[in-house]
Amino acid sequence: MRNHGPESLPRHFRPPSNEDLSHGISVHGEGSIAPYDCAIQDGELRLHSVLTYSKLRVTRTLSVDDEHVRIEESVENLSEVERPIGWTQHVTLGPPFLQAGITQLRIHAKQSRVFEAEGFDSGGLVRGADFRWPYAPRRGGDTADLRIFAEGGRTASFTAHLMERGSHPASFTAYSPASGLTFGYEWNPSDFPWLGIWEENRSRQNQPWNGKTVACGLEFGVSPFPEGRKKMVQRKTLFGEPAFRSLRSLERISVEYSAFVKQGPPDATGA
């Protein structure tokens, strides 16, 4: 289980273009491959990096209490122009915790949509379909229950979910019956209104996947889809919610979120 961090901070939340690759920028942008200065002080891990191409300063502080890993994160625009960003936390689950047809996912979503373009069709969901969690429409007329990872033999999918807002934080939980563990994240939905759920169940035959990879990305952030800066700006909104966030010249934004793990299944609230 990994949090790759604010992967899409440079410009986009998507696969790299040829131009990106020529500059050494990989999937989802510069934030996941930049070198970070690290220091431990007063029981906290502090990380800092200036993203060369993006002209952004990223800082992150991690601390641990009895139940949570707490993360404080800030992004500062060092340029003199306003920048649209696709700020997204990319948490990835894998085996042995993740098992197709077994591992259980829980979220509280207001409205959802299947990925609209090519790339995740082998799971059989209806491309671009709107639905209410957890039942996504399949080609052929039935539905898929997204509460179970790769239920019914799904091999790939990406669905975007607008999180509920209320008295409780937004969250996701993943429960492994085999290990008896519940893992999850909590965050402020005003900071990160969207959660993307990416399923990969041995569908990608090319390297480095080789038809063997089993992974689930739970990607909470300011954008619904991994579609790049140009498309997210053109989209503007989905379900009435902005599809990206802008940083004014020299503006600095800070957020807080947390991760947790516990014994046993999630409670009635999903935590």
Residue 94 placed within a domain: yes
Mean pLDDT of the chain: 89
CA-wise closest residue to 198 among 119, 257, 269, 262: 119
- Assigned domain for 149 exists: yes
Amino acid letter, 202: R
- Any idea which residue has 């340029």 for tokens? 79
Q: Stretch 218-246: mean pLDDT, rounded?
A: 94
- Long-range contacts for 20-24 (Cβ within 8 Å, ≥24 apart)? 23/53
Q: For residues 97 and 103, is the Cβ–Cβ distance under 8 A? A: yes
Q: For position 24, what pLDDT does the model report? A: 58
For 98, the domain range is: 2-263
Q: How far apart are CA 178 and CA 180, in angstroms?
A: 6
Which conformational region is residue 52 in: left (phi greater than 0), alpha (psi within -120 to 50 degrees), or beta? alpha
In a domain, 269, yes or no: no
- CATH (domain of 248): 2.70.98.10
Q: Has residue 270 been placed in a domain?
A: no
In degrees and rounded to multiples of 5, residue 122 shows phi and psi of: -70, -10
Q: Among 24-38, 73-87, 218-232, where is mean pLDDT lowest? A: 24-38
Q: Which of 35-49, 136-150, 187-201, 255-269 has the lowest mean pLDDT?
A: 255-269
Pairing of strands 83-85, 88-93: unpaired
Q: Is residue 271 part of a domain?
A: no
pLDDT tens digits, one per residue of 11-43: 445 555 666 555 555 566 777 778 999 999 999
pLDDT digits (tens, 9 = 90+) for 115-128: 998 888 888 999 99
Residue 190 is assigned to a structural domain of this protein: yes
Overall number of domains in the chain: 1
pLDDT at res. 10: 40
pLDDT in tens, 128-183: 999 999 999 999 999 999 999 999 989 999 999 999 998 789 999 999 999 999 99
* Range ranked top by mean pLDDT from 43-57, 220-234, 248-262: 248-262
Answer for the pair 139, 77: CB distance below 8 angstroms, yes or no.
no
At residue 33, the pLDDT reads 79
- pLDDT, position 8: 41
Distance CA 119, CA 262 (A): 34
Sign for the CA dihedral angle at 2, 41, 36, 30 comes to positive
Number of residues written out for the chain? 271
- Helix (H), strand (E), coil (C) string for the chain: CEEEEECCCCCCCCCCCHHHHHCCCCCCCHHHCCCCEEEEECCEEEEEEEECCCCEEEEEEEEECCCEEEEEEEEEECCCCCEEECCEEEEEECCCCCCCCCCEEEECEEEEEECCCCCCHHHCECCCCEECCCEEEECCCCEEECCECCHHHCCEEEEEEEECCCCCCEEEEEEECCCCEEEEEEECCCCCCEEEEEEEECCCCCCCCCCCCEEEEEEEECCCCCCCHHHHHHHCEECCEECCEEECCCCEEEEEEEEEEEECCCCCCCC
- Residue 48 placed within a domain: yes
Rounded Cα distance, 138 and 150, in Å: 13
